[in-house]
Structure 1
């Protein structure tokens, strides 16, 4: 397997689900709470968390590729998978080996972080990894049920924000919910976009994803609603004075978000619909990064 094939295998568009919550969590920790340790140490912990969650997301993508092949889903899927096995002819055992490597790495790094910050990282991390494994594997993968968006949102959005904020604050605070809730929603939106794109193929293979349960049109309406709720969430807390008005820079993420809805309302071709994944990833990334920039700007102004 060459570098370009490995790059496709890890599905870089989905990696925003891992690093975006870390960025906004770190920005909240740095600007909204008193400093309890040297900034450089908090940044070191943040880097460790970032590497850990990125490798965990890569592992989820690799295992998803492997189990989609085993179930036969990849044989008729025009977009969404890397094609490492069905198109590039890479031995499934190679994919499986990389799945083990990328699963073990966050385990080792997670233990090191737990030793440095809190041993509560171990049960939380194990729960997230278990969710990641069950998302793609097992007799009834979560990704094939109506709970895929919720599971991925909680494991990759809610949990990552909380873990990152704890590394900066060494406490639990209700304010953690302010970035954690929209992160959960937007990570779920990435998965929902994926399932809307694969709607026909998933239905033909007996999957019961949330959008299949709701129906295609109501699935698009729900996706639009999730984007809008995430934006209104920011306006609400800014109006309450809990977060600075500069955080509203993140509202610019609505531009690519509405592009996603336009694509789904215009095209039916899975290859064209794959563009929706790109714009959802862009929207999610912009939301988190612009919010983080807004928080940092407020400390300067």
Structure 2
């Protein structure tokens, strides 16, 4: 038997289990939805913070659930690339991981109660659906992540829905502008999952998954990733040309070099470790793009 790799100790294990590089996918939509709301209502900082923390907790819980079920299904091992596989590498008890995920859901639920009291109890229905989606993304008999709909589900719930909830709890309404502005961010959230699936394509295929990356093949999956980037930026251009948003939102184009780096980083690569920089650049594209969109909206608001 080969010697077990040296185990990490202390808080770093638990920090890694949250998959911190993915947490901006929860932060950016909340920020954008709240900034959008400034044109229609005065900002409620407590609601913003409650929504922000709840979204991050749900994202972290979803990551831990993913860790747990990947272990249960035998997908992770001590040689797993990235920060997955903490259970097999670091000796963390599987039951502890799943219980911690449920605890994070519980705290998010309490924050949700406060949000509902201050806005509408319909938010509770939407919030519970989001939690269920987070669980069934990798849990249950047919995980969403194992199907071609993983990117769509992630983009819809972590982009479109969170932006609209963040907008609604500040304004008490939903409008077409908020829905349209949420689309490019939703696309880039989905791109993060596609990048992950391109990296894991070979292993996922061996384990019976049917992701978009597997169905398209590596070459065309990379083309599709590039298409998602182009569509996201193109959508911003359309919004500006039609006068739906301030031209300052074009500042988001400063994130294009990251998108180019992400796309090029996958070309010609076949080993997961080789594709890690490209996967990181994809997540950074979403983060920088979302922040810049928010800054553009703020500049337009104060102009």
Query: What TM bracket, shorter-length normalisation?
Result: over 0.9
For 2:77 and 2:56, the matched residues in 1 are separated by: 27
For 2:83 and 2:218, the matched residues in 1 are separated by: 21
How far did 1:202 drift?
0.5
1:276 aligns with 2:278: yes
Aligned to 1:94: 96
Which one has a larger percent helix, Structure 1 or Structure 2? 1
C-alpha change, 1:77 and 1:24, in structure 2 (3 Å) is farther
Number of residue-to-residue matches in the alignment? 295
Aligned to 2:4: none
How far did 1:87 drift?
0.8
1:43 aligns with 2:45: yes
For 1:191 and 1:105, the matched residues in 2 are separated by: 26
2:171 to 169, 172, 186: 169
Kept in 2: contact 1:22–1:160 (CA 8 A): yes
1:141 to 143, 147, 150: 143
How far did 1:63 drift?
0.3
1:9 to 4, 17, 25: 17
2:31 to 20, 23, 27: 23
For residues 222-251 of structure 1, the C-alpha deviation after alignment (integer angstroms, 9 at most, x for no partner) is 110001110011111111111111110111
1:218 to 212, 217, 220: 220
For residues 240-264 of structure 1, the C-alpha deviation after alignment (integer angstroms, 9 at most, x for no partner) is 1111111101111211111111110
For residues 174-200 of structure 1, the C-alpha deviation after alignment (integer angstroms, 9 at most, x for no partner) is 111122211221111111111011011
How far did 1:272 drift?
2.0
RMSD: 1.3
Kept in 2: contact 1:78–1:270 (CA 8 A): no
2:263 to 258, 261, 264: 261
Deviates more, 1:272-281 or 1:66-75: 272-281
Residue 136 of structure 1 aligns to a residue whose secondary structure is coil
Aligned to 1:293: 295
1:115 to 114, 117, 137: 117
For 2:82 and 2:218, the matched residues in 1 are separated by: 18
Aligned to 1:66: 68
1:84 to 79, 83, 86: 86
Structure 1 moving runs of 4+ over 4 Å: none
Structure 2: stretches of 5+ with no match in the other structure? 1-8
How far did 1:3 drift?
1.1
How far did 1:78 drift?
2.8
For 1:278 and 1:171, the matched residues in 2 are separated by: 35
For 2:170 and 2:27, the matched residues in 1 are separated by: 16
For normalisation by structure 1, the TM-score amounts to 0.94
Kept in 2: contact 1:80–1:198 (CA 8 A): no
Aligned to 2:240: 238
For residues 264-290 of structure 1, the C-alpha deviation after alignment (integer angstroms, 9 at most, x for no partner) is 003222112111221111100111100
Residue 96 of structure 1 aligns to a residue whose secondary structure is helix
Kept in 1: contact 2:146–2:210 (CA 8 A): yes
Residue 172 of structure 1 aligns to a residue whose secondary structure is coil
